[in-house]
Amino acid sequence: MHTHTILHSHYAENGASVSDEKIDKRKRNAVSEEEEEEAPMAAPASADKPSTKKAKKGCPQIELERHAVSVSGIMSAQTFDQLELTQQTRDAINDMGFTQMTEVQARTIPQLLLGRDVLGAAKTGSGKTLAFLIPCVEVLHRAKFMPRNGTGAIVISPTRELALQIYNVARDLMKHHTQTHGMVMGGANRRTEAERLVKGTNLLVATPGRLLDHLQNTKGFVYRSLACLVIDEADRILEIGFEEEMRQIIKILPKDRQTMLFSATQTTKVEDLARLSFKRQPLYVGVDDSGAEATREGLEQGYCVVPADKRFLLLFTFLRKNQGKKVMVFFSSCNSVKFHADLLNYIDLPVNAIHGKQKQAKRTTTFFEFCQADSGVLLCTDVAARGLDIPAVDWIIQYDPPDDPREYIHRVGRTARGQEGTGRALLMLLPEELGFLKYLKAAKVPLNEYDFPPNKLANVQAQLEKLVEKNYYLHQAAKEAFRSYILAYNSHGLKDTFNIHSLDLKAVAKAFGFAMPPRS
């Protein structure tokens, strides 16, 4: 196992000693909530009734036709010009700057254009969004969908952020087409969504809960001519508790349709959902991962062992020395994200934050600000771990370890994206948590060990404790974050490694700015 000195090699080149730096207290600027932007719709077309070809019904017991392929990189040798696409779609793809297809696109789009059902095992960053959107748009165009024909394609995604990303790609892809497009998701204005559905939304991007709501309660929502159903990040949809909603949605929607289901992992629940969704034998498209590493090529991954009382000091030092980089930091709870964001912004180290307790408008605004920035820090809970198309992330810092190796793979999917993708991921472990490495090894996640010299850490513990003690707002936020950290730790799935009784609570409390653990 290779050992790297993380503070020396990555940010100790600055000769000034960070231990002499004082925390500069600055009042945070209040961020006003912005009104949610509503998804625009394309102009209606003048055409005839859609003439979609109906799929033949088949046996629900699915024998998958496996076309697993071994690929060494993300890009294929094929170009979009080799596909039989409408000129409108070709123009849009050119406008988006794409010429060469990824492996997933090259192996799915031709089959989908022929009307095949597809079950895809694709990792984050593989180009699967275009892989399912291009066939959907082509079907709508060739069937001459008009607003009065209702919804012809539905894309279901697990989170609002991912739905927004997919919708933006769909909007770009359809800008030369006349079919309409729209989005429905929790947190948005339901009445406005219903009005647009009644007017006719040909391609609809949706989150499961809000889609089911409209299917059951919005009169005038026409979907009887549905031609394509896409279920993206199926494993994630099921992980966050939408299993029953998905069953009801599939029961309501027309059975004669083309179905595309994509999932990073193939769990028992995903297989059950696939069995329910597909009415004919799907084509399986994936990567043969026997002996392969689970995470992306070009990703330099490491871990460091950090005493509980030094965790914040390491994070603070790291972020100060990487202010020109794009960094995501993962925490185990919303309260922890809130506290660390408030603290870091207060001491003049600007960060953004996304977590589940924020209003949708704030989350969306924060996400796009981070996307558009050349550098910056985004603190996250797992709400942001999957599917967000965030370009050029240099570092993924796992401040709190994930619940299982699959979650780790999802988290580090935000870096080393695309053809020449490179990036670095750092997992911070307590000495008591080293057993987690065996689970990562079993999941084919290669990790190097990073060392850090304690004398290079910013010596700001005393200032941190004084700030948390004197500032009532930060004191309350720190107390809630500490409590949430303990609760999350106690509910960790790997009890043999993450044992609440092995924690030194006094040392843990110091990382939250307390000299002694706070009372409940």
Q: Write out the DSSP string of 129-184.
A: HHHHHHHHHHHHHHTT--GGG---EEEE-SSHHHHHHHHHHHHHHTTTS---EEEE
What are the structural domains, with CATH classification, of the chain? 65-287 (3.40.50.300), 293-510 (3.40.50.300)
As a whole number, mean pLDDT of residues 439-467 equals: 80
**Could you write out the three-class secondary structure of 347-373?**
CCCCCEEECCCCCHHHHHHHHHHHHHC
Least Cα distance to 11 among 298, 317, 310 occurs for 317
Q: Is the pLDDT of residue 367 over 70?
A: yes
H/E element, 111:
helix 103-113
**Cβ atoms 355, 338 nearer than 8 A:** yes
Q: Is the pLDDT of residue 413 over 80?
A: no
DSSP class of residue 31 equals: P
* Count of CB atoms situated within 10 Å of the CB of 95: 12
- CB-hemisphere CA count at 13 Å for 278? 26
Alpha helices by DSSP H, listed for 491-517, are 505-510
Q: Report residue 481's pLDDT band, with 50, 70 and 90 as the boundaries.
A: very high
What the block records as the tokens of 62 is 């699915």
Q: Is the pLDDT of residue 180 over 90?
A: yes
pLDDT score for 408:
65
Tell me the C-alpha to C-alpha distance, in Å, between residue 206 and each of 156, 383, 427.
Answer: 5, 16, 33
Question: CB neighbours of 163 closer than 8 A, spacing ≥ 6?
Answer: 155, 157, 183, 185, 205, 206, 207
DSSP class of residue 287 equals: E
Tell me the one-letter amino acid at 487. L
Q: Is the pLDDT of residue 139 over 60?
A: yes
Q: Is the pLDDT of residue 98 over 70?
A: yes
| 369 alpha-carbon distance from chain centroid | 16
pLDDT score for 465:
94
pLDDT score for 357:
81
Question: CB neighbours of 244 closer than 8 A, spacing ≥ 6?
Answer: none
Measured distance CA(231)–CA(434) in Å, rounded: 36
Instruction: Please report the sign of the dihedral spanned by the C-alpha atoms of residue 468, residue 473, residue 477, residue 483.
Output: positive
pLDDT score for 82:
92
Q: Is the pLDDT of residue 336 over 60?
A: yes
Measured distance CA(510)–CA(19) in Å, rounded: 17
Q: Is the pLDDT of residue 324 over 90?
A: no
407 vs 244, more confident:
244
Q: What is the mean pLDDT of the chain?
A: 79
Instruction: Please report the sign of the dihedral spanned by the C-alpha atoms of residue 50, residue 51, residue 56, residue 62.
Output: negative
49 vs 198, more confident:
198
Q: Is the pLDDT of residue 456 over 70?
A: yes
As a whole number, mean pLDDT of residues 489-505 equals: 83
pLDDT score for 120:
86
**Cβ atoms 278, 250 nearer than 8 A:** no
Most confident of 34-43, 53-62, 75-84, 471-480: 471-480
Taking only the tens place, the pLDDT of each residue in 140-166 is 999 999 999 999 999 999 888 889 989
Phi and psi based region of residue 173 (left: phi greater than 0; alpha: psi -120 to 50; beta: remaining): alpha
Would you tell me the crossing angle of helices 208-217 and 243-252 to the nearest 10 degrees? Answer: 40
Would you tell me the crossing angle of helices 103-113 and 128-142 to the nearest 10 degrees? Answer: 20
Share of the chain above pLDDT 70, in %: 76
Taking only the tens place, the pLDDT of each residue in 8-62 is 433 333 333 333 333 333 333 333 333 333 333 333 333 344 544 443 333 333 3
Residue with tokens 């720190």: 478
The 3-state DSSP class for residue 101 equals strand
Strand segments, DSSP code E, in 50-105 are 65-69, 75-79, 100-102
**Could you write out the three-class secondary structure of 480-496?**
HHHHHHHHHHHCCCCCC
pLDDT score for 452:
73
Of 163-167, 220-224, 322-326, 481-485, the poorest mean pLDDT is in: 322-326
Q: Is the pLDDT of residue 353 over 50?
A: yes
Q: Is the pLDDT of residue 246 over 70?
A: yes
Measured distance CA(277)–CA(250) in Å, rounded: 6
Tell me the C-alpha to C-alpha distance, in Å, between residue 105 and each of 57, 295, 296.
Answer: 26, 19, 17
Taking only the tens place, the pLDDT of each residue in 265-312 is 777 778 888 888 988 888 888 744 443 444 445 557 778 889 999 999
What the block records as the tokens of 67 is 């076309």
Q: Give the total residue count for the chain.
A: 520
**Could you write out the three-class secondary structure of 409-440?**
HHHHHHCCCCCCCCEEEEEEECHHHCCHHHHH
Phi and psi based region of residue 127 (left: phi greater than 0; alpha: psi -120 to 50; beta: remaining): left
Q: Report residue 444's pLDDT band, with 50, 70 and 90 as the boundaries.
A: low
As a whole number, mean pLDDT of residues 486-511 equals: 86
As a whole number, mean pLDDT of residues 52-80 equals: 49
Q: Is the pLDDT of residue 443 over 80?
A: no
Measured distance CA(330)–CA(248) in Å, rounded: 33
Taking only the tens place, the pLDDT of each residue in 220-240 is 999 999 999 999 989 888 878
The 3-state DSSP class for residue 209 equals helix
pLDDT score for 505:
93
